Amino acid sequence: MTQPDYEMERVLRAQGYLRIAGVDEVGRGPLAGPVTAAAVILNPDDIPEGLNDSKKLTAKKREALETAIYAQAEVSIAHATVEEIDRINILKASHLAMERAVAELNPPPDYLLIDGNLIPQGLRTRSEAVVKGDGRSVSIAAASIVAKICRDRVMVDLAQQHPGYGWETNAGYPSKKHREALLNLGVTPHHRRSFKPVHNILYQE
């Protein structure tokens, strides 16, 4: 299994870009909750060991790495709300969360490595879209880890306010338990009304 590395960042640093942020988002697929993005600038002399795509790490490993990332790097996290997701669509909302995360880095980065194949339109920083970037760049991998843990914690909090949907384990994704609870318990204010399974319950004939 190939591990992400610092090679892209090293090439950029040789070109004079010194504040390189990896940017990633989590939460495009769930039926409930915000979409969350993170931007991380790693210190090239103090990169946490074992960074990888958050989906390839155990929860225990993710949490250990999160602690190291916050201790050794610059981190910014931002969200786009359910209301924004429903108003502008999930892709634009995920880009909005990315733009907000980047905007909170101070001083600002001078180059962005963004997971995916699209660059959010609102970004004014030199940027590069990196397909499957969380498996290629340690900066993006670090962003994927802190974004996932942050969003998972948001969903655990929401699960205590709205028990029965299983958000503490499914993070709002359309698991069997979540779909059954939607039918039996109904739609909460945290559900994305523009997503078909939710929309169909609200507007069934």
Annotated binding site for a divalent metal cation: 24-25, 115
- In this structure, what token pair is assigned to residue 193? 């009304």
Rounded Cα–Cα distance for residues 131 and 152 (Å): 24
Binding-site positions: 24-25, 115
Rounded Cα–Cα distance for residues 14 and 176 (Å): 49
State which H helix or E strand residue 36 sits in.
strand 35-42
User: One-letter amino acid identity for 204?
Assistant: Q
Rounded Cα–Cα distance for residues 192 and 84 (Å): 10
CB distance 164 to 158 below 8 Å: no
Rounded Cα–Cα distance for residues 119 and 112 (Å): 9
